[in-house]
């Protein structure tokens, strides 16, 4: 069907909303509570637009398209309303962008920039926000929360861990974990889905604080090295320090739809660990010494041959790893079956 955005004709897909059509065609409409994964919410009201023939402004995230609809996303009336909404969101928290971890990657900041809001007009809060640093990997700074509800939706309906909800009422409204206990003592599994979908700097990666903002880091797409699911991830790298700063799931990956588990998202400190093994070790007289690969492989081959000769092939078993490729696992089981001569071969994922 054909519809009109700001006077120009566009082809809409069946079931598409005004916001989806606009975003697909590179037309920005501020939106804070909507995310493709958590769906339409129509809570924040930042995405209002004007539709010819319909009185009042409409939220574009839940407005279905109809043949011939004429929509304005940037009239003065629309921009004034959007400005008021974003101004109130900024006014209801402590938004110090200069020192905020999320600066440069914040959807509220983007909306304020688009609408030309320099600073919040009001101060609608008392300065007594709770910071929850009880978890291993995630920091929750409620002074930045705009009550959009994305994290609640994400935890309950995307990853279905059912930990986050809203507590209290009115100005005291806040996100709570398991009723209202510290995140670190709740049933949260630290998957980080809420963190990834939070549009502002409220739920953030605790270990990445102060380690570089979005625009300073290189983004490298890869596949998680932990298990056979093969989740796609974006690794954010500080090239100067040669260090991984944080990891996000890739939203358009059919394998994981942007989700990661605690291992994939936070388990990367081994990469830069001083304790990482960099050469084979051989144990002699109760302690390990460095060895070359040639020496280590020759020793293993000799010991395997001795065991096989004395006790038979079934005295040996091979356990492969989920952290290597399918091809390496294939070669490994071939080696155990054909060269060692036993079917005692398994994989760590089943243990
Ligand atoms: S959450 Fe966004 S708007 Fe608020 S201080 Fe951080 S960058 Fe600025
Ligand atoms: S980290 Fe995962 S389990 Fe924990 S609150 Fe966030 S979405 Fe829920
Ligand atoms: S913590 Fe983030 S995602 Fe959750 S309600 Fe607040 S702003 Fe929205």
Is the pLDDT confidence value at 227 over 90?
A: no
Residues 6+ apart with CB under 8 A from 217: 236, 237, 238, 245, 246
In this structure, the answer to whether residues 22 and 94 fall within a common structural domain is: yes
Please classify residue 65 by burial: count the beta carbons closer than 10 Å to its beta carbon, then call 0-12 exposed, 13-18 middle and 19+ buried. Answer: buried
Position 125 in a domain: no
Phi (first) and psi of residue 297, to 5 degrees: -65, -40
Q: Is the CB of 164 inside a 6 Å radius of any atom of ligand 1?
A: no
Total structural domains in the chain? Answer: 4
Which of 207, 241, 265 is at the close of a domain?
A: 207
Which of 187, 207, 227 is at the close of a domain?
A: 207
Cα distance between the two ends of the chain = 54
Q: Is the CB of 100 inside a 6 Å radius of any atom of ligand 1?
A: yes
State the residue for tokens 């356990």: 319
CA-closest residue to ligand 2 atom 5: 188
In this structure, the answer to whether residues 24 and 80 fall within a common structural domain is: yes
How confident is the model over 284-322, as pLDDT tens digits?
A: 999 999 999 999 999 999 999 999 999 999 999 999 988
Which of 77, 99, 121 is at the close of a domain?
A: 99
Q: How confident is the model at residue 350 (pLDDT cuts 50, 70, 90)?
A: low
Give the per-residue pLDDT at 228: 78
In this structure, the answer to whether residues 230 and 190 fall within a common structural domain is: no
The SS3 of residue 89 is helix
In this structure, the answer to whether residues 255 and 294 fall within a common structural domain is: no
Q: How far apart are CA 251 and CA 258, in angstroms?
A: 4
In this structure, the answer to whether residues 201 and 225 fall within a common structural domain is: no
39 is in which domain, residue-wise? 2-99
- Residues for the chain: how many in total? 351
Give the per-residue pLDDT at 237: 97
CA-closest residue to ligand 1 atom 4: 95
Position 116 in a domain: no
CA-closest residue to ligand 3 atom 4: 151
Cα dihedral value 339, 344, 349, 351, nearest 10: -150
Give the per-residue pLDDT at 171: 83
Mean pLDDT across 71-87: 98
CA-closest residue to ligand 2 atom 2: 191
What strand order describes the sheet that includes 138-141? 131-132, 138-141, 203-205
∠ CA 300-304-305, rounded to 5°: 115
Q: Take residue 58 and report the two structure tokens written for it.
A: 């409409």
The best mutation among 135, 159, 176, 186 to test binding of ligand 2, ranked by most ligand atoms within 8 Å of the C-beta, falls on 159
The residues lining ligand 2, judged by C-beta closer than 6 Å to any ligand atom, are 138, 154-155, 159, 161, 163-164, 188-194
95: left (phi over 0), alpha (psi -120 to 50) or beta: beta
Q: What is the percent of the chain where pLDDT is above 90? A: 89
Q: Is the CB of 61 inside a 6 Å radius of any atom of ligand 1?
A: no
Q: Take residue 249 and report the two structure tokens written for it.
A: 């799931």
> Tell me, what CATH number does 255's domain have?
2.20.25.90
Q: How far apart are CA 188 and CA 205, in angstroms?
A: 15
Q: What is the mean pLDDT of the chain?
A: 95
List the beta bridge partners of residue 103: none
In this structure, the answer to whether residues 156 and 218 fall within a common structural domain is: no
Is the pLDDT confidence value at 347 over 90?
A: no
Is the pLDDT confidence value at 351 over 70?
A: no
Position 139 in a domain: yes
DSSP H helices in the chain: 18-24, 76-91, 107-115, 150-153, 193-197, 262-266, 293-311, 326-334
> Tell me, what CATH number does 47's domain have?
3.10.20.740
Give the per-residue pLDDT at 104: 94
Centre of ligand 1 from the C-alpha of residue 100, in Å: 6
How confident is the model over 155-208, as pLDDT tens digits?
A: 999 999 999 999 999 888 999 999 999 999 999 999 999 999 999 999 999 999
Tell which wins on pLDDT, 321 or 262.
262
Cα–Cα separations (whole angstroms), residue 38 to 61, 98, 152, 213 = 12, 29, 9, 25
Position 270 in a domain: yes
Mean pLDDT across 278-288: 95
Q: How far apart are CA 282 and CA 302, in angstroms?
A: 14
The residues lining ligand 3, judged by C-beta closer than 6 Å to any ligand atom, are 145-151, 175, 198, 200, 202-203
């Amino acid at each position: 069907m054909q519809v009109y955005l700001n006077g120009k004709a566009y082809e809409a897909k069946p079931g598409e909303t005004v916001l989806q059509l606009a975003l697909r065609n590179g037309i920005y409409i501020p939106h804070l509570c909507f995310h493709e994964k958590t769906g339409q919410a129509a809570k924040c009201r930042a995405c209002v637009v004007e539709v010819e023939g319909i009185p009042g402004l409409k939220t574009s995230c839940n407005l279905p398209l109809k043949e011939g609809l004429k929509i304005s996303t940037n009239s003065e009336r629309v921009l004034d309303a959007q400005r008021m909404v974003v101004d109130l969101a900024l006014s209801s928290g402590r938004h110090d962008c200069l020192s905020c971890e999320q600066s440069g990657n914040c959807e509220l900041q983007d909306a304020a920039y688009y609408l030309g809001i320099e600073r919040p007009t009001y101060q609608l809060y008392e300065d007594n926000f709770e910071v929850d640093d009880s978890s291993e990997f995630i920091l929750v700074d409620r002074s930045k929360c705009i009550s959009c509800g994305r994290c609640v939706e994400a935890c309950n309906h995307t990853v279905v861990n059912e930990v986050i909800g809203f507590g209290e009422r009115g100005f005291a409204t806040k996100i709570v974990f398991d009723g209202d206990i510290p995140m670190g003592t709740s049933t949260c599994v630290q998957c980080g889905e809420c963190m990834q979908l939070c549009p502002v700097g409220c739920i953030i990666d605790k270990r990445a604080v102060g380690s570089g903002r979005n625009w300073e880091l290189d983004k490298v797409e890869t596949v998680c090295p932990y298990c056979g699911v093969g989740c796609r991830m974006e690794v954010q790298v500080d090239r100067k320090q040669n260090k991984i700063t944080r990891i996000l799931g890739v939203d358009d990956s059919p394998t994981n739809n942007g989700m990661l588990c605690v291992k994939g998202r936070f388990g990367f400190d081994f990469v830069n660990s001083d304790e990482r093994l960099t050469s084979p070790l051989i144990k002699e007289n109760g302690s390990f010494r460095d060895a070359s690969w040639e020496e280590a492989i020759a020793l293993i081959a000799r010991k395997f041959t001795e065991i096989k000769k004395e006790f038979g092939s079934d005295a040996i078993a091979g356990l492969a790893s989920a952290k290597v490729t399918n091809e390496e696992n294939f070669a490994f089981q071939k080696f155990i079956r054909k060269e060692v001569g036993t079917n005692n071969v398994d994989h760590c994922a089943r243990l």
